[in-house]
Amino acid sequence: MKIGFIGTGSMGRTLVEAFIRSGKLSPQDLYIHNRTRAKAELLASEYPGIHVAADNRELVRQTRCIFLCMKPGEFRRVLEEIRGCTTRDHIVVSITSPVMIQDLEEWLPAKIAKIIPSITHAIFSGNSLYIPGSRLTTDDQAWLKDLFSAISSPLEVDERHARIASDLASCSPAFFANMMEKMADAAVEETGIPRESAISLVTQMAQGLGRLLTEGGFTLHTLQQRVAVPGGITREGLELLEKEVSPIFHRLIQLTHNKYEEDIEKVQKALNNRVEKNVP
Ligand SMILES: NC(=O)C1=CN([C@@H]2O[C@H](COP(=O)(O)OP(=O)(O)OC[C@H]3O[C@@H](n4cnc5c(N)ncnc54)[C@H](OP(=O)(O)O)[C@@H]3O)[C@@H](O)[C@H]2O)C=CC1
Ligand SMILES: O=C(O)[C@@H]1CCC=N1
């Protein structure tokens, strides 16, 4: 099946590369288009065989499944562009959470899904969050899950939980990288250890931590128990973190959800502000 990617920014590129490197898709099957064309051309030059479509309409005409890899504010323009050439046989997948499936189903006659990916798919890991629309057949659903199984572990979630699941699966790589960087910076400021050493120590630790949790037989809880020996230093550190860290995560989740509500409102205003509705 020919597959298209509209938007080859950070995540569009990650998906294209992961699908090709996993062997699931071959470059010849892929059509890409990006507002700044040079970005798509660069990606195509790295994976000979990828087709760079002249515009989003050509991409839709050449493919059966299309991934919308733009930011929420960029949806209206793309939907206006492609709605005339999208058919009932197309599968259209949004990779962003604040664009509602119902709105996409009103705009396009296509079969709609939302699949929220994560940067972790670049190394074929992490959960992709799978939210099926109402028009997908059982075969379409099996095909999409199989596609994403090549680069991730697909997890079906209710659209109501898309934001929190995305916080945990898609935003957290950045959140945790930030915390590790802050820890290393504090180590430098408090002790004078060279920054390069501090960064290397936390990075190597994180690699080991990931493996302990996936293949080492540890849970988050047993891991803390094993490291925090009674009367030891880690126990004292954990007691401080118990008090100080939990409120930060509550604030973080409240913040992402407030921003999400704002984004939904903006997208709905943009998408519903039109005369004609799609009649599939
Ligand atoms: N980054 C991540 O880890 C994750 C991102 N997402 C979601 O993916 C979406 C994209 O994020 P990300 O890739 O990081 O953002 P980027 O800004 O890196 O990529 C968006 C791309 O869309 C292109 N674009 C915008 N309008 C059009 C158009 N009309 N036609 C063709 N291409 C267009 C932009 O082109 P131009 O080069 O001109 O700017 C840009 O390259 C977001 O909605 C985000 O929520 C979801 C999960 C994880
Ligand atoms: O920052 C963002 O908006 C996107 C959503 C999930 C990860 N990145």
Render pLDDT for 153-211 as a digit per residue (tens, 0 to 9).
999 999 999 999 999 999 999 999 999 999 999 999 999 999 999 999 999 999 999 99
Question: What's the pLDDT at 273?
Answer: 78
From 69, 92, 148, 166, the mutation candidate for ligand 1 (largest count of ligand atoms within 8 A of CB) is 69
Question: What's the pLDDT at 274?
Answer: 65
Question: What's the pLDDT at 279?
Answer: 47
Minimum CA distance residue for ligand 2 atom 1 = 171
* 247 and 124 fall within a common domain: no
CB 7 within 8 A of CB 70: yes
Q: What is the pLDDT of residues 81-92, one digit of tens each?
A: 999 999 999 999
Please tell me the distance from the alpha carbon of residue 264 to that of residue 100, in angstroms, as a whole number: 8
Look at residue 273 and tell me if it is in a domain: no
* 69 and 151 fall within a common domain: yes
- Distance (angstroms) between ligand 2 centre and the Cα of 61 equals 29
Look at residue 148 and tell me if it is in a domain: yes
**Domain enclosing residue 251, as ranges:** 165-262
* 242 and 228 fall within a common domain: yes
* 83 and 140 fall within a common domain: yes
| Cβ of residue 41 lying under 6 Å from some atom of ligand 1 | no
CB 228 within 8 A of CB 238: yes
Give the number of domains in the chain.
Answer: 2
* 7 and 141 fall within a common domain: yes
- Distance (angstroms) between ligand 1 centre and the Cα of 8 equals 7
| Cβ of residue 10 lying under 6 Å from some atom of ligand 1 | yes
H-run or E-run covering 233: helix 233-272
* 215 and 229 fall within a common domain: yes
Please tell me the distance from the alpha carbon of residue 203 to that of residue 249, in angstroms, as a whole number: 22
Q: Is the pLDDT of residue 44 over 50?
A: yes
